Structure formats: structure tokens, C-alpha cells
């Protein structure tokens, strides 16, 4: 399905069970003697989320027989089975190609006491409104959308990352700078040949109505959120690199370090730019294609 968050990119990467060390310039943080686990903010109060068959959905209400949830297509649906999760620090929202890296980020954060919710861990399509709605009930302090995107192969060179932050949130902007600093450092350590992006750096992006262009930025409430674009799709050597345990672990370490710095320090990162394109026309509402909701029964032929 399509909305003003772009459609899921095709392709996937293999999972990884190891972690590698990747540090960025953002790691010059405020020194502290307290371990991160003792500096973490507690997850905010929320109804929680429900983990289903490869994805998570927000809980709207607990019922006698189960839960009322927001379905992948944005419908209110009663369900009786699932795994309830409450109290997370971070929502990781990967597109299908970035799922293996998101799983590695989750494993990398766990020893630090940072709890996570994944919007999906299989190749399933979920409406941006449903994904954004995970922020409040999970109690998260961070929402990160990770997208593997096509870059400009005519401009191969040093790593470029595109990060869009919420226009009215300084904390979202700071989170974006930490993502940029750590990811570009890690990517340069993996390869010196990355495709370019039309707008690299950390910037806001608005729709024609003057609000954040991406649904996952404007519908996450008070949770600082960013959309991170990593070029690499369409380049066989980079796809292979990011399918290895070392490649995925380096990328996961970069994102995890950015999250830890955001939650536990006052570090600000880098990569802030003035947007070339501040306003982009977005659909006036609704999805541009029909959504096949896995939680709704198929129509009955009469």
C-alpha cells in the first residue's frame, strides 16, 4: 500500500546473531559514572502493543475475550490471541529490507536495558498510521523508521544518510543528528563506495498543509521520531555486504549507539543541513491502493 510514507522497498537481508563495534563522532558524550541502565527514563504509561504473526499493532482497549486493536490496514478489530507487550523505550520501524538490521539492533540494545518493540519482523505490509500509533501505547521515548533505499549510482563515494526529523521537535532533530553521525561513520568503515542521495543530511520535510510530511513523524504524539534512509539497494556489492553478519552488526551497532546516546546523554550528533526541498506535496488522505487486512475475514460470496 502507498501513502505519503513511500511504499515498502523490495528485497531483504539475512539475519544476524553477532555484534560488531562501530563508533561515530557523536560518541564524545557527557561523561558519567552511572551505567546506562540507571540513567534510562522509564517507559511512559500506555495500554501496550500486541505482537501477532510477524508484526505488532497498538492496543486500543482490553476486552473480556482479548483486545481491541488497530489492524495493519488501520481498522479497529477485536482479536483473542497474541502476545501483549507493555513498556518499551524504543519503537523500531523497519521496512522489509531493513528488518534483519532492526532485529540486530534489538539484540544489541537488550544488554543495556533498553527495551524495544518492532513494528514488523517479516515481509508484511502495514499502514503508516498503524505503525505510528505504536508510539503512544508502547510508552516509547524513541521512534525510528529505517528504510533501505535506492541511491544515485552515478555519484559513488563516501557514505551518505538521509534523516528527516519532526519540524517542531528539537529532540527529534538531536536524535536525527546522532543517527547520522553514527551511521555514516559505520558505513565508511564498511565501504568507501556508497551511492549518493538527492538530499543527504538531517533536515525537516513538510507537506503542503504545513505539517510533517511523513505519517510516522506527525502521528507519533510526543515521541521524538525520525525517518532514516540508507542507500544500498540496487548495488549488488552493497546488498551482499549488508547481508553478512559483520555488515549487519556494524549497522546495528551504529543505530543502537545513537539510541543509547539519545536516552543517556546530551550528545547532539552532526549532519544538520538546510533543506533543499522543505515542502513536498503529499496525498490529501487515505491510501492510494487497497489494503488487504490480514485481521479481517474475507468477503462472503452471496
CB 80 within 8 A of CB 50: no
CB 105 within 8 A of CB 116: yes
CA 279, distance to chain mean position in Å, is 22
Q: Identify which of 105, 244, 268, 92 has the alpha carbon closest to the alpha carbon of residue 176.
A: 268
Query: Cβ atoms within 10 A of the Cβ of 243, count?
Result: 16
Q: Identify which of 108, 38, 22, 104 has the alpha carbon closest to the alpha carbon of residue 264.
A: 38
Residue 282 makes CB contacts below 8 A (sequence gap 6+) with 4, 207, 208, 209, 213
Specify the residue for cell string 473480556. Answer: 64
Q: Which domains does the chain have, with CATH numbers?
A: 86-264 (3.40.630.40)
pLDDT 10s digits, 160-200: 999 999 999 999 999 999 999 999 999 999 999 999 999 99
66: confidence class by pLDDT, cuts 50, 70, 90: very high
Q: How far is CA 151 from CA 157, 189, 214, 215, in A?
A: 11, 18, 20, 23
43: confidence class by pLDDT, cuts 50, 70, 90: confident
* Start-to-end Cα distance in the chain: 28
Backbone angles phi, psi at 73, to 5 degrees: -95, 10
pLDDT 10s digits, 209-244: 999 999 999 999 999 999 999 998 889 999 999 999
284: confidence class by pLDDT, cuts 50, 70, 90: low
Q: Rounded distance, CA 28 to CA 274, Å?
A: 24
Half-sphere exposure of 191 (CA within 13 A, CB side): 20
DSSP state of 67: E
Q: Which residues pair with 143 in a beta bridge?
A: 91, 225
Is residue 269 over pLDDT 50?
yes
Amino acid at each position: 500500500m502507498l501513502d505519503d510514507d513511500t511504499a515498502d522497498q523490495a528485497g531483504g537481508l539475512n539475519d544476524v546473531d553477532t555484534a560488531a563495534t562501530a563508533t561515530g563522532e557523536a560518541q564524545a558524550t557527557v561523561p558519567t559514572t552511572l551505567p546506562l541502565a540507571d540513567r534510562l527514563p522509564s517507559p511512559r504509561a500506555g495500554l501496550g502493543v500486541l505482537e501477532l504473526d510477524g508484526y505488532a499493532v497498538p492496543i486500543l482497549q482490553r476486552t473480556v475475550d482479548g483486545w481491541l486493536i488497530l489492524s495493519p490496514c488501520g481498522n479497529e478489530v477485536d482479536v483473542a490471541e497474541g502476545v501483549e507487550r507493555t513498556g518499551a523505550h524504543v519503537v523500531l520501524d523497519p521496512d522489509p529490507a531493513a528488518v534483519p538490521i532492526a532485529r540486530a539492533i534489538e539484540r544489541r540494545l537488550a544488554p543495556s536495558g533498553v527495551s524495544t518493540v518492532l513494528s514488523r519482523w517479516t515481509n508484511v505490509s502495514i499502514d503508516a498510521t498503524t505503525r505510528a500509533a505504536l508510539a503512544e501505547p508502547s510508552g516509547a521515548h524513541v521512534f525510528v523508521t529505517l528504510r533501505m533505499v535506492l541511491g544515485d549510482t552515478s555519484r559513488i563515494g563516501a557514505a551518505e544518510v538521509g534523516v528527516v526529523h519532526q519540524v517542531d521537535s528539537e529532540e527529534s532533530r538531536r536524535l536525527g543528528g546522532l543517527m547520522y553521525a553514527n551511521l555514516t561513520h559505520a558505513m565508511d568503515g564498511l565501504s568507501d563506495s556508497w551511492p549518493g542521495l538527492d538530499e543527504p543530511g538531517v533536515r525537516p520535510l513538510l507537506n503542503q498543509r504545513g505539517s510533517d510530511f511523513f505519517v510516522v513523524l506527525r502521528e507519533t504524539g510526543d515521541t521524538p521520531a525520525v525517518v532514516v534512509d540508507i542507500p544500498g539497494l540496487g548495488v549488488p556489492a552493497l546488498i551482499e555486504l549488508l547481508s553478512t553478519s559483520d555488515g549487519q552488526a556494524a549497522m546495528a551497532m551504529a543505530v543502537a549507539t545513537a539510541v543509547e546516546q539519545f536516552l543517556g546523554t546530551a550528545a547532539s550528533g552532526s549532519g544538520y543541513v538546510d533543506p533543499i526541498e522543505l515542502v513536498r506535496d503529499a496525498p490529501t488522505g487515505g491510501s492510494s491502493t487497497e489494503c488487504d487486512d490480514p485481521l479481517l475475514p474475507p468477503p462472503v460470496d452471496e
